[in-house]
Structure 1
């Protein structure tokens, strides 16, 4: 089995990654950072997010495993002191996996006919730099609302516990085939009205955002990447054809993880 180890540059993660590579080699695994079958990330959710984008052209043949060296992460199943158990699980690997949906972000710039596509594991946000965002929101080709406010956040189910939750979005189970739109500080008064609640969109639907063409200082973020090319004509959000796969060797109850992360209880 070909395995890549992808770690953040912190001292602890580097030490753990070095130890893990040694254990993998001792058990006859091949370390291959170019064409791996499994990518093991060492760090936290941010490290796994970086690894996802590094290998996003190879998602159809890669499974991910996360080892966290700090706080509990939503994408990381193993702790840094469980390396021997992880290696033992890899030795018993039968190809088991669980996969989750991703977000396709199709961006069309003014004076360009084709969309440029990006993948998001967590979310994409759309804002303005120093003024109110004005944009029309369409769902499956039908006008839904004219938005005015700080911005819009489109997230995957796995990303629902990240920025989406911070702006009032719902927490979705990662096995749901859906994408979610959450408004960020929308203006609601006698003149301007929006729904003001998170929207969960079905797999057969998509969301189009048409920003006010008179403004050009838009900031479009896809996961941790800022796309500053402008002016924007349209953004289309839909569930991507690609998925991310995790090599799942033991069951980690999602709602237990949510409780541990946000409530601090082991009673769920």
Structure 2
């Protein structure tokens, strides 16, 4: 088993965290861990904050395939990605030292824009109109035409991302053990002239989804990748797939994904 002892902390600057960070570093160093100043030097990347901070830690570190991620929440933050909190940091250290530690593997979406630039996301990619006009998108599955969407936009979510933006649009919550993507609509237009499926649909991991933007004056949509927005000029099409990359996170025992869903929503 590869020794993992180089830790990088990712967190938003916060004076109220300074003393706590110092004590966390000391506790880790006492257990034989080494702190590094750059994410690319670490084999353990720990975010301190809620799920938004975790998503940023993954993005800013380049969706590393060769390290473990862990999320620590503070008392006022939710954490569907974060199993630990500031009060049980020692348990996190013990988990890293345990050869039988449990690791979750979350699938990552790959997004190609105009067949050129590639981006990744752990939660979802969304395409939305930026003007007071419906956006028109031709939807293709494995290069076969499926439907033409008219409305505010579309969301394509991973299973773990299904509890986020997707859920707010009445999409289904998907078990993360099912590698798939879910497509949900934002305010679709359905009448005698225009028609879409009108509900979310789920595609197997091997499917390729293509979204072709109709060039009708709405050529500058906002593309959201997790919790960051990208304004890319003249978007013609997005190709979305699950490429096989996964983000590995440390699992706290007796804390399943559905336990966290229950605590968050029920």
CA 1:14–1:144: 2 relative to 1, 3 Å: farther
Once the two structures are superposed, residues 141-178 of structure 1 have per-residue CA deviations (whole angstroms, 9 ceiling, x without a partner) of 11111100010001111111010101111101112110
Tell me, in whole angstroms, the C-alpha distance in 2 between the residues paired with 1:56 and 1:201: 26
CA 1:79–1:132: 2 relative to 1, 3 Å: same
**TM-score, length-scaled by structure 2:** 0.91
User: For residue 182 of structure 1, what is the aligned residue in structure 2?
Assistant: 184
Corresponding position: 1:36 with 2:42: yes
**8 Å contact kept, 2:221–2:232:** no
User: For residue 124 of structure 2, what is the aligned residue in structure 1?
Assistant: 123
1:161 pairs, out of 160, 163, 166, with: 163
User: For residue 63 of structure 1, what is the aligned residue in structure 2?
Assistant: 68
User: For residue 50 of structure 1, what is the aligned residue in structure 2?
Assistant: 56
**8 Å contact kept, 1:7–1:13:** no
**8 Å contact kept, 1:119–1:240:** no
User: For residue 200 of structure 1, what is the aligned residue in structure 2?
Assistant: 202
Once the two structures are superposed, residues 183-225 of structure 1 have per-residue CA deviations (whole angstroms, 9 ceiling, x without a partner) of 0110000000000110100011111011111222311111122
Matches within 5 A, 1:100-119: 100-108=106-114, 114-119=115-120
Corresponding position: 1:233 with 2:230: no
Tell me, in whole angstroms, the C-alpha distance in 1 between the residues paired with 2:146 and 2:110: 20
Query: Aligned Cα RMSD in Å?
Result: 1.6
**What number of residue pairs does the alignment pair up?**
257
CA 1:133–1:176: 2 relative to 1, 3 Å: same
Structure 1: gaps (5+ residues): 109-113, 264-268
Structure 2: gaps (5+ residues): none
**TM-score, length-scaled by structure 1:** 0.91
